Amino acid sequence: MSMYLTLLFLVLILEMSVLFVLVLPLPFRIRKLFVRSYDKLQVLGQLRTVAVILYGLVGMLFLDSWWRAQRATQRFAEGTSQDPLNTGLQAFATKTYNERNLYISGFIMYFSICIPTVVNILKSLIRHYELGAVAAGDDSEEVKLLRQELKGKQASLAALRSQKKNLEAHFDSSTETGSQDTAAKKKQ
């Protein structure tokens, strides 16, 4: 009895550790390494067979524990027992043990669903990060073209400003000479 509980606890702790490491905010390279390692482990046929057998047994334990916990809960609630040696404390202990097994096997099954989900999320993050890096390389070429265009526009703007200054200077000089001509005509 204690051997299989020890194995269940080890599986539960292993799954919790894997999930904890997967959700840590690790650098891109380390996340990519974890995802690649997970993919390589998924390809191994022997490991897949062991996982299917293990989760099949955990699923059967879950169903058995649920059924026994329901039965023990009904007996405990009724307060009656067919076994005269089965005291209330024994019924409560049986109910507690069955619920413990139910929770352990349930969490193992839950984490067995969570880990592939988190790995798929990490795969999509890695894919978007790599696409972003490729797009950033394309953006640098686009940025170079835009900067060249900006330099051309700035040169054109500088030329327009110098033309404006020249036109203002010419207008000012022509108005000054025009005002001197009108002043000379008034004196005459």
Q: How does pLDDT run along the chain (188 residues), one tens digit per residue?
A: 678 889 899 999 999 999 999 999 999 899 999 999 999 998 998 988 998 999 999 999 999 989 988 887 777 677 655 655 666 777 778 888 888 889 999 999 999 999 999 999 999 999 998 887 766 666 677 888 889 999 999 999 999 999 999 999 888 888 877 666 665 666 66
Confirm whether 147 is domain-assigned.
Answer: no
For residue 111, is it within any domain? Answer: yes
How confident is the model at residue 153, as a pLDDT?
95
Domains: count for the chain: 1
Token pair recorded at residue 100? 């413990």
pLDDT of residue 71: 84
| Integer Cα distance of 92 and 87 in angstroms | 9
Q: Considering the domain boundaries, does residue 90 fall inside one?
A: yes
| Whole-number pLDDT of residue 118 | 96
Q: Cα–Cα distance between 28 and 21 in angstroms, integer? A: 13
- Count, residues in the chain: 188
Please report whether residue 89 resides in a domain. Answer: yes
User: Measuring CA to CA, how many Å separate 63 from each of 1, 3, 56, 76?
Assistant: 17, 20, 11, 20
In 44-87, alpha helices (H): 45-78
Q: Which domain holds residue 102?
A: 2-142
Of 22, 48, 44, 5, the C-alpha closest to 119 is: 22
Q: CA distances (Å), 170 to each of 12, 68, 165, 179, in order?
A: 88, 104, 8, 14
Residue 119 lies in a domain: yes
In single-letter form, the type of residue at position 33 comes to L
Report if residue 151 sits inside a domain.
Answer: no
* The pair of three-digit structure tokens given for residue 180, joined into one six-digit string: 């001197």
Asked if 102 contacts 62 with a C-beta cutoff of 8 angstroms, the reply is yes
93 found inside a domain: yes
DSSP single-letter state for residue 171: H
| Residue whose entry in the numeric block shows the structure tokens 């840590």 | 24
Kindly state whether residue 157 falls inside one of the protein's structural domains.
no
